[in-house]
Amino acid sequence: MADELLYVTKAAKTMRSCVGTPKERLIKGAAEFAVATKNPGQWPPDLLAKAKKVCEILFAEGTLRGTVTKMDTKTATANLAIVAKSAEDLSVEIEEARSQGRIPRT
């Protein structure tokens, strides 16, 4: 779960940065977030369900790039805020789960 936390945290930071357009930050951050979910067996079921909800937004059109391409700037900016907040929240929840012993600290 250490790698998953790293990528979720990195995704949040990328999306909150001021480098690039909202669409560019959404694509880059979302790609990092997607890496974090590659091994669903590493996730506690409740946190995996939350991560999957984020992925539903990101892959609504089948691919990340396809989804973001269809967004106008206003929609991309709104989704960027939603996904960044979700990633930040998941980072905190992963740390809490670790402190509770629900996830090993590897």
Stretch 52-65: mean pLDDT? 91
Query: Is 19 within the bounds of a domain?
Result: yes
Work out the burial of residue 34: count CB atoms within 10 Å of its CB; fewer than 13 is exposed, 13-18 middle, 19 or more buried.
Answer: middle
Query: Is 105 within the bounds of a domain?
Result: no
Query: Is 53 within the bounds of a domain?
Result: yes
Query: Is 57 within the bounds of a domain?
Result: yes
pLDDT at 1 over 80: no
Instruction: Count structural domains, the chain.
Output: 1
If phi > 0 it is left, if psi is from -120 to 50 it is alpha, else beta; for residue 71 that is beta
pLDDT at 56 over 70: yes
Stretch 39-55: mean pLDDT? 91
Q: Give the domain extent around 65.
A: 2-99
Query: Is 106 within the bounds of a domain?
Result: no
Q: How far apart are CA 68 and CA 86, in angstroms?
A: 17
Query: Is 104 within the bounds of a domain?
Result: no
Query: Is 33 within the bounds of a domain?
Result: yes
